[in-house]
Amino acid sequence: MKLLHEFREFAVKGNVVDLAVGVIIGAAFAKIVDSLVGDVVMPVISRIVGKLDFSSLFIVLAEVPAGTAMTLDALKKAGVPVLAWGNFVTVALNFLILAFVIFLMVKQVNRLRRQQAETPAQAAEPAPPPEDVMLLREIRDSLRGAR
């Protein structure tokens, strides 16, 4: 029972829950970025390059056995070394877009934190001292006057 209680405490701590939410949102965001690159960016680049499937662009680095189709999958299955530069470019674009969007998000969060830190602290007046402090000040002042 103690182990279960400790696990429950661990699981509901703020940092663990925040991390779990971050991982889930990150996974969903990665799918959005994959779709953006695969369905929006890469077709435009493919149009310029002249191929519809940009991720299947490659350079053959050795002799191709007779009867092997000249597709990336067929060459890899046949054990032919290939330089799959199109797939690398696709993954690199995914990374760059994801990094740029995260940069924009962090920049916005930092801007909001600065605004929040500046506004309430400067605009708020100091709270009046507690009543016991006021009474002690009155006693101090009356003792000074009695001298």
Lowest mean per-residue pLDDT among 11-20, 26-35, 83-92, 118-127: 118-127
Q: What is the pLDDT of residue 147?
A: 64
- The CA-based diameter of the chain, rounded to the nearest angstrom, is 114
For every residue of 46-99, DSSP letters joined together read HHHHT-S-GGG--EE-SPPPTT--SSHHHHHHTT--EE-HHHHHHHHHHHHHHH
Higher pLDDT, 31 or 120: 31
Higher pLDDT, 145 or 49: 145
Range of the domain at 42: 2-141
51: nearest Cα among 78, 81, 90, 83: 90
Matching residue, tokens 């969060």: 109
Asked whether the whole model's pTM tops 0.85, one would answer no
Q: Is residue 146 a part of any domain in this protein?
A: no
Q: Average pLDDT over the chain, rounded to whole?
A: 81
pLDDT above 90 as % of the chain: 2
CATH label of the domain that carries residue 72: 1.10.1200.120
Q: Is residue 32 a part of any domain in this protein?
A: yes
* Number of domains comprising the chain: 1
Q: Is residue 147 a part of any domain in this protein?
A: no
Q: Is residue 16 a part of any domain in this protein?
A: yes
* Interval 79-132: pLDDT, tens: 889 988 888 887 887 788 878 877 888 898 889 888 888 776 555 677 888 998
pLDDT at 24 over 70: yes
